[in-house]
Chains A and B, each alone.
Chain A
Amino acid sequence: MHQVIELERVAKRYDSADTPALGPLTLSVARGEALAVTGPSGSGKSTLLNLVAGLDKPTDGAVIVAGRRIDQLSQHALATFRRAHIGMAFQFFNLLDDLTVCDNIQLPAQLTGTRRRDSASRAGELMEMLGIQKHARAYPGRLSGGERQRVGVARALINRPELLLADEPTGALDTASGHDVRDLLMDLHRGGQTIVLVTHDLSLAETVASRTIHLIDGHLARDTHAQASRRACSAPAR
Chain B
Amino acid sequence: MQTVVIAIATMMAVASAVVAGSLMVAAAAPFDHAFAKQRGAHLTAQFDPARVSTAELAATRKLDGVTASAGPYSSTSFRPVDQTGFRLPTMTLVGRSGADSAVDRVEMKSGRWVQEPGEIVLSTSFEGPGTEIGSILKSTSGTASAPALKVVGFALSTSKTADSWATPAQVEAVASQGHSVTYQMLYRFDSAATKHQILADRMQLDSVTGSAALLGTRSWLDTKREADQGAAATVPFVMAFGVLGIVMSVITVSSVISGAVGVGLRRIGILKALGFTPREIVRAYVAQAMVPAVTGIILGVLMGNVLAVPMLADAESV
Contact = CB atoms under 8 A, between A and B. Distances in A.
A94 B276 CA distance: 14
Nearest to B263: A97
B196 interface: no
Given A94-B269, A96-B267, A108 B275 contact: yes
Interface stretch (A76-84, A141-149, A185-193): A76-84
B272 A111 contact: no
A82 B273 CA distance: 8
B270 A84 contact: no
Nearest to A76: B277
Interface in B40-94: none
Interface residues on B, range: 10 to 19
Contacts of B274: 82-83, 88, 107-108, 111, 155
B162 to A, nearest CB: 66
Contact of B275 (A84, A95, A96): A84
A151 B31 CA distance: 67
A155 B278 CA distance: 20
B277 A79 contact: yes
Contact of A53 (B273, B277, B279): B273
A75 interface: yes
Contacts of A53: 273
B280 interface: yes
Most buried by A among B269, B274, B276, B277: B274
A55 interface: yes
A81 B275 CA distance: 8
A81 B277 CA distance: 10
A105 B278 CA distance: 21
Nearest to A92: B266
Contact of B278 (A79, A83, A108): A79
Chain A interface mostly: helix
Interface string A102-129: 0000011001100000000000000000
A96 B270 contact: yes
A54 B266 CA distance: 18
A95 B266 CA distance: 10
B60 to A, nearest CB: 71
Nearest to B279: A76
Q: How large is the interface on A (under 10, 10 to 19, 20 to 34, 35 or more residues)?
A: 20 to 34
Contacts of A111: 274-276, 280
A94 B270 CA distance: 6
A79 B275 contact: yes
Nearest to B267: A96
A112 B274 CA distance: 11
B3 to A, nearest CB: 10
Contacts of B279: 76
Among A55, A75, A79, A84: residue with most chain B CB under 10 A: A79
Interface string B242-273: 00000000000000000000000011011011
Contacts of B273: 53, 55, 82, 88, 90, 94
A80 B279 CA distance: 12
A55 B280 contact: no
Interface in A63-80: 75-76, 79-80
A148 to B, nearest CB: 13
A75 B275 contact: no
Interface string A25-59: 00000000000000000000000000001010000
A66 to B, nearest CB: 13
Nearest to A93: B270
A155 B271 CA distance: 12
A82 B278 CA distance: 13
Interface in B271-318: 272-280
B146 to A, nearest CB: 82
A84 B274 CA distance: 10
Interface string B105-126: 0000000000000000000000
Contacts of A155: 274
Contact of A75 (B266, B269, B270, B278): B278
Nearest to A88: B273
Contacts of A55: 272-273
A96 B273 CA distance: 12
Interface string A144-182: 000000000001000000000000000000000000000
Contacts of A82: 273-275
B270 A79 contact: no
Interface of B: 266-267, 269-270, 272-280
Given A82-B274, A84-B275, 9 more contacts: A76-B277, A79-B280, A80-B275, A82-B273, A82-B275, A94-B270, A96-B267, A107-B274, A111-B275
Closest A-B pairs by Cβ, 3 of them? A83-B275, A79-B277, A82-B275
23 contacts: A55-B272, A75-B277, A75-B278, A76-B277, A79-B272, A79-B275, A79-B276, A79-B277, A79-B280, A82-B273, A83-B275, A88-B273, A94-B269, A94-B270, A94-B273, A95-B270, A107-B274, A108-B274, A111-B274, A111-B275, A111-B276, A111-B280, A155-B274
